[in-house]
A and B are shown apart, each in its own frame.
Chain A
């Protein structure tokens, strides 16, 4: 009941707000309000019961995490037009930052670190040794470290163009996991930095202790279940939507798009290429880092086997599927792909097997189906689910021009 009321309030409030303050068309404002209300109500809807396999809570949380990744990659690929096939590197960096600062792993690094016991505003028991910072501090650190990683990876690679850039980023996406896999015995003094293939865990949960200080918040929200985690990541998605949209419409966003359209002309119009590209890498990496640290807390362990080339491709697919350069498209694409990956395929496959009483393994077909869907998309909707506003308008105007030329002829 509470949820239904809150959902209604969000729908009405957001629709009215967008209509009055942002002067949106009523239909668009209602659509925006509906999307936000749906995002809020999603983990409370009927099909989230654990017994029903259509949309488990865990998948909803992952959808939101992947939406954040897609938003980040959209800045690099969609706005600045730099094909990055190594986005997994930032995901990995963020996840390891989460693991390092929110677990007891620090005691395993070397003999001298055995007694480390640091707790700062954390959600873990004080008896557990290691480094335990508050999730909210870690998320900031993860964002910063990922941004730095973005600049370090970008500085040498961004001098390359198009296909070459794609190849080198792909290389970095492969090198970094290998480095982490082998960093359990680093030369000066046999340091164990990443615990190799064994991975790091358990990672602390997201602390919501600060909510205790806000009066009127029901204690049920404080509990650290998937719903709370979902809302936390939703807030980060919202923040990143804001960042994306504001940057896109500002000086830096124009420079990104100019580089995407014509790099040489952009540089001759006073746009510093390297610095502008590095910014897109850094901002995109922040989303990857934050998402990575968050992922570490929901999964509980960070293992290097989880950081594969497939991840980069999945996020890239989400961006392309949704509509390159479109913020909402990136989110939609990420949600669709993540659901399909984690639940949809087994769910639909199960239904088909049940109906035909067969025993076919649909999971093995995952990437085949993926490819098929992408090919179909490219054939029938090459600009994605929600094409970027500008490409839509350009297309429309082009058709008008063509039509007028036909009339002239």
Chain B
């Protein structure tokens, strides 16, 4: 049995009468690339928000890296090594690309108020190293040289990349990507598929992505979990999912499978 980086059991999230996530069991083996798919409103982003500490589930357990994340504030979970990007880009617009990345180094930087005011050598070295790391991360995601550009002035595609660079600055063990290829053209999506593999292989980061583009999902993920109306309806390898009649029903409607049969 492979080691599990993330283990969620019987997770349920209710907003009043609405059950957004319904008794979902879900786990991510260390070092894998896993996808979470489902029609709009299936509860995928809600599930992300549970993992990152924004929502506390009504019931269930979520263990990350051997420890529970329930009731733990988001910044602590982030510091433990869970980083994410957002479906609708949420960069710090009036800050430079470099600063955006450096914000996410917050848990790893040590200098406090006193050393900053006194400009102690330690603090200056730390800042210089952080700036250098940010530069390298920007190059890694393919937007090197934009360090001093303001985030909101970057082109859309570069903003998506900057979000990944910022998430990587947390030195995550698990990277959550929420619809990373939304708004990309097929070439960009294909390049992104390769990039996800590079992140995993070169940096050893486990990846969970929410994605609508089936080409990307099938090309990237090793395991796929399908949600519909908050419940898990299927789980397996891309080949298994492609053949699963419940998944086809969920995506194309009941008559599609009947017609095919």
- Identify the A interface with B (CB < 8 A): 242-243, 246-247, 250-252, 254-255, 257-258, 261-262, 264-273, 279, 283, 390-391, 393-394, 397-398, 401
Contacts and interface: CB of A to CB of B under 8 A. Distances in A.
B152 A394 contact: yes
B210 interface: no
Scoring B75, B127, B149 by chain A CB atoms within 10 A of each residue's CB, the highest score goes to: B75
B107 interface: yes
Nearest to A255: B106
Contacts of A269: 75, 78, 83, 103-104, 106, 166-167, 169-170
Interface residues of B, number: 39
Scoring A251, A252, A254, A279 by chain B CB atoms within 10 A of each residue's CB, the highest score goes to: A251
A5 B90 CA distance: 54
Given A252-B113, A269-B104, A273-B75, A390 B86 contact: no
B73 to A, nearest CB: 7
A262 B111 contact: no
A398 B153 contact: yes
B84 A268 contact: yes
A394 B75 contact: no
Contacts of A254: 95, 99, 102-103, 106
Contacts of A401: 153
A269 B92 CA distance: 11
B94 A391 contact: yes
A394 B106 contact: no
Nearest to B149: A397
Interface string B38-49: 000000000000
Given A247-B117, A254-B103, A267-B75, 5 more contacts: A251-B106, A257-B95, A264-B54, A269-B104, A269-B167
A273 B153 CA distance: 26
A112 to B, nearest CB: 39
A268 B74 contact: yes
Interface string B19-54: 000000000000000000000000000000000101
A268 B86 CA distance: 10
Scoring A261, A262, A270, A279 by chain B CB atoms within 10 A of each residue's CB, the highest score goes to: A270
A397 B127 CA distance: 26
Nearest to A390: B94
Interface in B166-199: 166-167, 169-170
A258 B92 contact: yes
A251 B114 CA distance: 12
A279 B112 CA distance: 11
Interface string B121-142: 0010001000000000000000
B91 interface: yes
A266 B92 CA distance: 8
A251 B107 CA distance: 10
Contact of A271 (B86, B93, B103, B113): B103
A394 B150 contact: yes
A76 to B, nearest CB: 15
B116 A252 contact: yes
B103 A266 contact: yes
B119 interface: yes
B8 interface: no
B109 interface: yes
Scoring A247, A252, A265, A397 by chain B CB atoms within 10 A of each residue's CB, the highest score goes to: A265
B233 interface: no
Contacts of B86: 265
B90 A265 contact: yes
Nearest to B100: A258
A7 B212 CA distance: 68
B149 to A, nearest CB: 8
A30 to B, nearest CB: 25
B79 interface: yes
11 contacts: A247-B117, A250-B127, A251-B102, A251-B109, A261-B94, A265-B90, A268-B78, A269-B166, A272-B75, A394-B94, A397-B150
A251 B129 CA distance: 12
A273 B167 CA distance: 18
Contacts of A261: 91-95
A397 B97 CA distance: 14
Contacts of B78: 267-270
